[in-house]
Structure 1
Amino acid sequence: MRFWDWALEVYARQPVAEACLTLQDAHGQNVPWLLWAAWMAGEGRSADLKDAARMMRAWDVEIGAPLRGVRRALKPVRPPVDEAAKEVLRDAVKAVELKGERVLMESLETLSGPPGDPIPVLNGLIAATEASGDPPRRSALEKLADALAKPLG
């Protein structure tokens, strides 16, 4: 299964989304990066994690985080700005943010080697977060690995 399709399926499950957002907001992690690491582990794929991490970090600093910041800045009520008009703008920014995540995820997928023997998802998450330079606590990664272990469907 292609990475984007797999990510949409697993992220739709509440425990996965919650674990990803906790890792993003409390630990500074990049959600597409985490999902890519989990997908690669499950598929038994490999990649040069250091090079991929540099690309992901640059993308996040220059594109991902600014878009997320604009979307979040548009969430509170801002009188006298018309609330309905602001929400239309916020939805448009959210759509662009999602498109940006897709571009990043498709770029990461191109760096992935062919499928092979799967490895434990937790091991893939640990390796990827170490390569990105700021690994969160193991317990936070375990929550995501556990949420991802539940079968699709």
Structure 2
Amino acid sequence: MLLHDNPFWRFSLSLYQLKRIKDACLQLQDESGANVNLLLFALWVSQQQLRFAPDWKQSFQQLDNWHRDYTLQLRRQRNELKVLAEKADQHEDGPLHRMRDHIMKAELLAEQQEQAVLYYYYQERQGLLDCENKEAALIENLCNCFEDPTQVDDAPLKVLLGVLLDERDTEFAIVRLREQLERRHQRR
């Protein structure tokens, strides 16, 4: 059974309230195609001294399907309605604005479902391995969140690394993360 109110969900809510975290996550989502829930999960499991297993993508297939079929579709509809509502509705409480608000709420529920699935993976240790070094886990986990490293800007990565690392360690970690991203991209 999935738990929708769980420690990972509460961690994500508290972290995402911080403007710099929200902005960094949205930048990585919009410019790099990253899944924000997966980014937050990468941070959270790193704190638990866990890293993504080599076969994590197969283990996380249910998450990927849900994200593609529901979350991304709702986000696309919400964004399209925003443009339509701005053109058609003279008031912010017009029908298209209200419809967009409902879709936004549905999108949030889809995101919460993703997080419940991720928390289930955590509970079952599905696609996850123990890692003694939190920094190594953090770098490895974040590296797994991107398909194309050429589309990933360092600035939002530094913000996310800074959640678990101090400023000095963040500078070293961004270099290691960038190197690892480049190596993975070259292997493909």
Would the TM-score normalized by the shorter structure come out above 0.5?
yes
Are residues 1:71 and 2:78 paired? yes
Equivalent runs, 1:91-102 vs 2, <5 Å: 91-102=101-112
Q: In the alignment, is the contact (CA less than 8 A) between 2:47 and 2:164 conserved in 1?
A: no
AA paired with 1:145? L
Query: Given the alignment, which residue of 126, 137, 142 partners 1:125?
Result: 142
Query: Given the alignment, which residue of 84, 104, 109 partners 2:114?
Result: 104
TM-score (norm 2): 0.67
Offset, 1:83: 4.7
CA distance in 1, matches of 2:92, 2:132: 51
SS of the residue corresponding to residue 7 of structure 1 reads: helix
Q: In the alignment, is the contact (CA less than 8 A) between 1:41 and 1:124 conserved in 2?
A: yes
Q: Bigger shift: 80-89 or 8-17? A: 80-89
Offset, 1:98: 0.5
Q: Residue 3 of structure 1 aligns with which residue?
A: 8
Equivalent runs, 1:47-66 vs 2, <5 Å: 48=53, 49-66=56-73
Which has the greater radius of gyration? 2
Offset, 1:82: 6.5
Offset, 1:59: 1.9
Offset, 1:52: 4.1
AA paired with 1:59? W
Q: Which has the higher contact order (CA 8 A, sep 6+)?
A: 1
Distance 1:62 1:39, change over 3 A: same
Give 5+ residue unaligned stretches, structure 1.
none
Q: Residue 32 of structure 1 aligns with which residue?
A: 37
Q: Residue 152 of structure 2 aligns with which residue?
A: 137
CA distance in 2, matches of 1:118, 1:78: 52
TM-score (norm 1): 0.80
| Identical counterparts, % of pairs | 24
AA paired with 2:139? L
Offset, 1:138: 6.6
SS of the residue corresponding to residue 57 of structure 2 reads: helix
Q: In the alignment, is the contact (CA less than 8 A) between 1:122 and 1:141 conserved in 2?
A: no
CA distance in 2, matches of 1:59, 1:52: 13
**Count of matched residue positions in the alignment of Structure 1 and Structure 2:** 147
Distance 1:67 1:14, change over 3 A: same
Give 5+ residue unaligned stretches, structure 2.
1-5, 167-188
Alpha-carbon RMSD: 2.7
Q: Residue 21 of structure 1 aligns with which residue?
A: 26
